[in-house]
Structure 1
Amino acid sequence: MKKIGLLFLITIIALSVNAQKKTNVIFILADDMGYGDLGSYGQTKIETPHIDKLAAGGIRFTQFYAGTSVCAPSRASLMTGLHTGHTPIRGNYEIEPEGQLPLPDSAFIMPEMFRSAGYKTGVFGKWGMGYPGSEGDPVKQGVDQFYGYNCQRQSHDFFPDHLWNNTQKVELKNTHSNQVQYAPALIQEQAIHFMVENKSKPFFMYLAYTLPHAALQLPEGDKTFEYYKKKFNEQPKPVKTTWVGDGYQPQAYPHAAYAAMVTKLDNYVGEVVAKLKALGLDKNTLIVFASDNGPHAEGGNDPAFFNSNGGFTGIKRKLNEGGIREPLIINWNGKVKGGQTSDYIGAFWDFLPTFADLASTKLPQKTDGVSLVPLLLNKGKQQTHDFLYWEFHEDGGRQAVRMGNWKAIREKVFNDPKGQLKLYNLETDPQEKNDVSAAHPAIVEKMNGIMLKEHVENKNFPFAKAK
């Protein structure tokens, strides 16, 4: 009996050690933060020391792209490993009273993949891919613990009247005139708790922070907000003294508020990293930091003041570089060599195959991405993309393709699906100022062919609807 007991104990210990050898993964996604909003990407007005330290200790990517230029489809691209010609969600399709068009049950997304590989899965922040109780509800998509906003529209208020804890509606004390519970702080508290609770198990944590999306809201007397008011010597703009929830809450100090929201996000990242070290998990955790699309100009925000798009053309909702090229930092202490800068041309749909590779599991369906593991670990030849493709379902519809240094954009697709596209050479013209389509008809023809092939018509997001 003693031998049986000893063998049982050894088996349990062995299983525990084996489980702990799996790499934890934390994916941090900023909301509407531009390529140029971090110090490590050239920002001079906003301070982001914690994220910059992550960049210094890992790989800073300079030619990496979001799924598209608005929230829900960009996140769907990340979760499904599919570009926006193939994702089930391709736009901000709103559902009343709360939520967005749901991911279908047939979608196999990142949390499901991690759960199938033996990970605990947590999502904290903004979901936006399925209203409560729908098939796209996070708890029906492989998420063990969800805390935050189910609805991205409701996340425009940082002092909401409720959040969600899995299927439980968490009523808050906030009103429009009495803002006492700051949602980002509540969400951060739950994320840290998830790390502590799962310190002995492999976990995947998706931190979908709502900062620095509009509205530009901060707690009363916030020290970071006051710091930037003084730093910028910003004089208050006249705003309505009362706000009843219509649109974004006005902000008298928009420059200071936006900077404070970015720095507050940076502080939250610093807290996550510090907790990893305190738990002894810092050398067994892969951290990714990115943003879902380019900077916004909403709620009084002024991206030009900060050069938030890093000098590229366009902001949120545009398929120019400023709308989709994003900061990407990957830090894996002890595994990924620090101080690297990569010009690898990739996009959000690369992460699902990358993480499946790291988790030693196979995906049940083909993705549009490639695994980045060879690049991260400097082992073997890194596969590259023949092209990247995006589409956008607002403002008349847009398509874009990047093929090597060539970038093509078509506007007003709903009215003219075969309309003239503009062609840019990003090597010589990264600001996309000079349309060279007339001089390169063969490239234009090839880009047209890619756009035609990669857009698979979707009943919820058709390009033919405006004809």
Structure 2
Amino acid sequence: MLFNILDIEHALLKLRRMSVASLLSRCRFNTHGLVRTAKSKILLVLIICNYLSCIPTLKGQSNEKPNIIFILADDLGYGDTEPYGQKVLKTPNIARMAKEGMKFTDHYAGAPVCAPSRSTLMTGMHTGHTPIRGNRRDMFQGVEAMPHDVRTIAEMFKENSNYTTALFGRWHLGGVFSNSCPHQRGFDHSFGALSKFHKPPNTYYRPDLYKNGELYIVDENDKGAESVHVEDLITEKALQFIDKQSKGGTPFFLYMAYSLVHAPIEPIPGEVDYSDRDWPQEEKDFAHNVAGLDKYVGMFMEQLKKSGIDKNTLVIFTSDNGPHGEGHNPLFFDSNGPLKGIKRDLYEGGIRIPFIARWPGKIRPGTTNDHPSAFWDLMPTMAEIIDIEPPKQSDGISYLPALLGKKQQKHDYLYWEFKPGNPRQAIRKDDWKAIYFIQDGRFELYHLSDDIGEKRNLASEYPLVAEELFEMIQEAHDYNPRFPLTNTEKHIQVSAKNPNYLEYEDGTPYIPIGPNICWSRITTEADQALGQYDKYFKKLAENGGNYTRIWLSAPLWEVEQKKASGFDLGKTDYLLDSLVNLASKYSIKIKFCLENFRQLTDRPAPFEGSVPFDKPIYSKVYGGPLENMEQFFATKEGKELFLSRMHWFSNRYATNPTVFGWELWNEINSVKATKKVVLDWTREMLIEAKQAFPRQLVMQSLGSFDSKDKASIYKQYMALEDNEILQVHRYLDPGAELEVAKGAMDILAADATRELLSYDHDRPVIVSEVGAVEAHHAGPSKLYEKDTKGVLLHDLLFAPFFSGAAGPGQSWHWHHYIDRHNLWWHFGRFKEAIKGIDPITEDFTPLFLEDQNFRIYILKGKSTTLIWCRDIKSGWRQELLEGKEAKKIKDIHLDLSLLGLEKGTKIDFYLPWSDKWQKGGTVAAGSINLPDFKRSIVVKISN
């Protein structure tokens, strides 16, 4: 009886998964121990062959599991090869591979650029989870190194099978001096380039390669010579590896990572010559590189047949992202085919890639599959092929059933994110594809089966689909501190270059724009409150806001309600985490205030919409440990209460970049304890807070600066070394002692800013509470009822920043005033007025002028001078008390000779009340003519 060798191998594959006892139990023996049936004879022979290795399988390999070769091109577009519609460039070997195997039409790279795409390939995690999410270069490591807390696909093979693993070509997940080179991440053999901080100009003729982590000098390319094309050499070494493994070695996984057709375009001869074509030289060079890549694919096919392992080898050919436009025009050969976009885009052209698999006897020749799959599916696919469990980290789904023509499980969705430029996220669910451009809030929705070129944005036509995909996008992304996707994912710090301002951890400026929204004024019901905050945050974000302040001691958020240090984990898990996630969703930073109480009694809130200013659970009268507030601030027992609270929140949020900073106490000078004890306590707790929150800012808060005695208090607290931000509160208050707190809103806010700047502590100043109240803070001002246009809000936003503060004034009365009149647009007007301004680099000097018509606030910088002119005759007294509508101001000539501006200096004007920019010509003899405006105008002078 004759048997096909593939049938025997298939039987062996099954037999290896069965125990010897189980196999023998399937054979029937007579009483003399002789095998009774021919079928049992065959089975017994197979048992002996399998377990004693009496006869080898193909060409000396003793294991029936397949060899796997994964060929990865670099920057090869969806339309660059014949199987995907290329009409000009000839790729006969790739075409033959498709004819003998399966072509996937809907396979995706992990990202639109190299490193993150390879990271998804190696870890089985999409870019919302994988550790490397950008082409970040490191001075010492060359490129961002793959951390060791995730497994690579090579490590999966080594830890769970007898496969030999090899990488030939480009790694790009750890450079020369990293601890994450291929030989350190599961590859038995590696040969190719390891990235350095500076890429060599002669990439394809570089002399420095690495073999198993050791420097390998290509002598022929030393000292600038260009004799050996590196891709030729790497291919030669890979073919030698295959030949050696075929002669009795273990099965192998070969990751063949080419640099072709990545720039620079240094052509290599292929099987097709385009030298005589009437094309630009760069396009000829590109065509030759595609031909060279195709030639290499053919060489692998021939080597497999020559080595006798062709039928037991799965070969996959694909690319790491869409086509590049670096040194040639991707439209010249229609490199992206019918798709929109190229490399670095999350449109289909940037991430949908060619993907061909060939496995004789397993994959049906000439087939096409439209299963949506992606790089992170490789890990579980390989795991299923070698019959192991993939690491739990994987987001992938094995596409082995699709390869074998069987029923295939589908993804709930495929997800991508990419930071450079306008940070963006993309998701595909079935035939729906969405792209969210975070910076400008643009959401695009396409239906790919009808619109593969992504030409028709359907977001407005299918709002429910758009909403569903937007929610999926948010869920798919996990914060990565090395690759923050949005500004919300970067920590805030005092600028190292200019300590009067704030910056993100990457050094870009941060100007905190937003109001206090400390608690819900209308509900303590969790879901209702979160819905309200969703509305607030959305409106704020739509208008350029990026900041708010939350009182953790307000009843809505309070986690310590029933007894001292009895923290409610459930409230933190749901309510506070939900709040922080909402802020992150809208790129809003939160400053948390840890405490606000002033006594230990049990008094109700002073007026509707306010909060209690007492904490009875700390009082012995109500079962707590303390007699009075003096004990809280002066004794170890009292301090431990605050520290336990601080550490509770530290354990939860200390590393979360959505949290801007931590305020120890709201208006600490208002508590019922001696001034020295409270000051000493603050000094001590600021140090503790910085240890608890090392990556976030810490600060203290004082009561409204409305009387003379507050000057000395502010000076004492602002001088504390660990107080990282100088905060001041000031309200328009008819009961205030200081006259400045009863006058114009812009003057009272600007004066408070200048007061703190005069302390000369080289720290940012923030007017962290500002608004209008009834006399002696008896409630929100009645002026708000009349201020439907936001005259007060406009002034309190602009005046502090234009007086030298690190940001605009941070308004109070969010529910009673801002939201009631829908005044959120004022934040957008401020954001527009300072568009493109970098206060850190400008190092502004604040100046102030006043005449009978205007108050003129000036920020004179190194390359830009900003001026905010406020009409004196249209303040809150005139408009809100006297009912006089602001008049349009015309024919104003502004003398700026004191600024020393050169003749011809460029000027632009912004009109906040009409949201318009106007070109203003140039400075003439130190003066300018202002356009017509109402209430205020911003002048931007480019020095």
* 2:441 pairs with 1:438: no
Equivalent of residue 83 in structure 2, options 40, 43, 54: 40
Number of the residue aligned with 1:163: 209
Equivalent of residue 279 in structure 2, options 225, 231, 234: 234
Q: Report the Cα distance in structure 1 between the residues aligned to 2:141 and 2:199, rounded to whole angstroms.
A: 8
Equivalent of residue 72 in structure 2, options 24, 29, 41: 29
* Structure number with higher relative contact order (C-alpha < 8 Å, ≥ 6 residues apart): 1
Letter in 1 for 2:256: L
Number of the residue aligned with 2:428: 402
Deviations 1:91-123 (A, max 9, x none): 111122562111111211111122231100110
Contact 1:154/1:160 (8 A) holds in 2: no
Pairs within 5 Å for 1:58-457: 58-96=101-139, 99-116=142-159, 117-151=161-195, 154=199, 157-172=203-218, 173-174=220-221, 178-199=225-246, 200=248, 201-218=250-267, 222=269, 227-230=273-276, 232-234=277-279, 253-298=281-326, 300-379=327-406, 381-411=407-437, 413=438, 415=439, 419-457=441-479
Pairs within 5 Å for 1:5-20: 13=53, 17=57, 19-20=62-63
Deviations 1:181-223 (A, max 9, x none): 211011011101111121122000000011111111036xx47
Letter in 2 for 1:122: A
Contact 1:98/1:154 (8 A) holds in 2: no
Contact 1:69/1:318 (8 A) holds in 2: yes
Letter in 1 for 2:199: Q
Contact 2:147/2:180 (8 A) holds in 1: yes
Matched position secondary structure for 1:408: strand
Task: Please state how far the C-alpha of 1:402 moved relative to its aligned partner.
Answer: 0.7
Q: Report the Cα distance in structure 2 between the residues aligned to 1:395 and 1:96, rounded to whole angstroms.
A: 22
Contact 1:182/1:218 (8 A) holds in 2: no
Letter in 1 for 2:465: I
Q: 1:426 to 1:364 in 2, by over 3 A?
A: closer
Matched position secondary structure for 2:465: helix
Matched position secondary structure for 1:191: helix
Task: Please state how far the C-alpha of 1:19 moved relative to its aligned partner.
Answer: 4.0
Deviations 1:231-268 (A, max 9, x none): x2235xxxxxxxxxxxxxxxxx1111111101101111
Matched position secondary structure for 2:384: helix
- Higher deviation after alignment, 88-97 or 59-68: 88-97
- Higher deviation after alignment, 147-156 or 320-329: 147-156
Contact 2:104/2:354 (8 A) holds in 1: yes
Contact 1:216/1:258 (8 A) holds in 2: yes
Structure 2 residue ranges without an equivalent (≥5): 1-47, 491-503, 505-509, 511-943
Q: Report the Cα distance in structure 2 between the residues aligned to 1:81 and 1:224, rounded to whole angstroms.
A: 35
Q: Report the Cα distance in structure 2 between the residues aligned to 1:19 and 1:398, rounded to whole angstroms.
A: 49
Matched position secondary structure for 2:275: helix
Matched position secondary structure for 1:409: strand
Aligned length: 434
Task: Please state how far the C-alpha of 1:82 moved relative to its aligned partner.
Answer: 0.7
Number of the residue aligned with 1:243: none
Deviations 1:352-378 (A, max 9, x none): 101000001112324111111222223
* Cα root mean square deviation, aligned: 2.2
Task: Please state how far the C-alpha of 1:12 moved relative to its aligned partner.
Answer: 5.6
Matched position secondary structure for 1:50: helix
Task: Please state how far the C-alpha of 1:449 moved relative to its aligned partner.
Answer: 0.6
Q: Report the Cα distance in structure 2 between the residues aligned to 1:9 and 1:376, rounded to whole angstroms.
A: 29
Q: 1:11 to 1:59 in 2, by over 3 A?
A: closer
Contact 2:49/2:55 (8 A) holds in 1: no
Deviations 1:278-318 (A, max 9, x none): 111000000111100000000x2111010000121100000
Matched position secondary structure for 1:336: coil
Contact 1:159/1:175 (8 A) holds in 2: no
Q: Report the Cα distance in structure 1 between the residues aligned to 2:214 and 2:299, rounded to whole angstroms.
A: 26
Structure 1 residue ranges without an equivalent (≥5): 1-7, 236-252
Matched position secondary structure for 1:74: helix
Matched position secondary structure for 2:103: strand
Matched position secondary structure for 1:181: coil
Q: 1:366 to 1:168 in 2, by over 3 A?
A: closer
Matched position secondary structure for 2:468: helix
Matched position secondary structure for 1:283: helix
Deviations 1:405-463 (A, max 9, x none): 1111112x3x46xx231111112211111111111111111111111111100010112
Q: Report the Cα distance in structure 1 between the residues aligned to 2:397 and 2:81, rounded to whole angstroms.
A: 27
Q: Report the Cα distance in structure 2 between the residues aligned to 1:404 and 1:120, rounded to whole angstroms.
A: 37
Q: 1:341 to 1:148 in 2, by over 3 A?
A: same
Task: Please state how far the C-alpha of 1:158 moved relative to its aligned partner.
Answer: 0.6
TM-score, normalization: structure 2? Answer: 0.45
Matched position secondary structure for 2:314: strand
Contact 2:164/2:251 (8 A) holds in 1: yes
Matched position secondary structure for 2:283: helix
Task: Please state how far the C-alpha of 1:134 moved relative to its aligned partner.
Answer: 2.5
Q: Report the Cα distance in structure 1 between the residues aligned to 2:397 and 2:449, rounded to whole angstroms.
A: 23
Matched position secondary structure for 2:53: helix
Q: Report the Cα distance in structure 2 between the residues aligned to 1:311 and 1:335, rounded to whole angstroms.
A: 31
Q: Report the Cα distance in structure 1 between the residues aligned to 2:270 and 2:49, rounded to whole angstroms.
A: 52
* 2:96 pairs with 1:53: yes
Q: Report the Cα distance in structure 2 between the residues aligned to 1:83 and 1:445, rounded to whole angstroms.
A: 21
Equivalent of residue 458 in structure 1, options 470, 480, 503: 480
Matched position secondary structure for 1:301: coil
Q: 1:14 to 1:161 in 2, by over 3 A?
A: same
Contact 1:99/1:129 (8 A) holds in 2: no
Task: Please state how far the C-alpha of 1:344 moved relative to its aligned partner.
Answer: 0.7
Task: Please state how far the C-alpha of 1:345 moved relative to its aligned partner.
Answer: 0.8
Number of the residue aligned with 2:698: none
- Higher deviation after alignment, 337-346 or 96-105: 96-105
Matched position secondary structure for 1:54: helix
TM-score, normalization: structure 1? Answer: 0.88
Q: Report the Cα distance in structure 2 between the residues aligned to 1:68 and 1:27, rounded to whole angstroms.
A: 18
- Higher deviation after alignment, 419-428 or 166-175: 166-175
Q: Report the Cα distance in structure 2 between the residues aligned to 1:349 and 1:74, rounded to whole angstroms.
A: 9
Contact 1:149/1:155 (8 A) holds in 2: no
Task: Please state how far the C-alpha of 1:396 moved relative to its aligned partner.
Answer: 2.7
Identity of aligned residues (%): 41
Q: Report the Cα distance in structure 2 between the residues aligned to 1:434 and 1:167, rounded to whole angstroms.
A: 49
Q: 1:177 to 1:423 in 2, by over 3 A?
A: same
Letter in 2 for 1:180: S
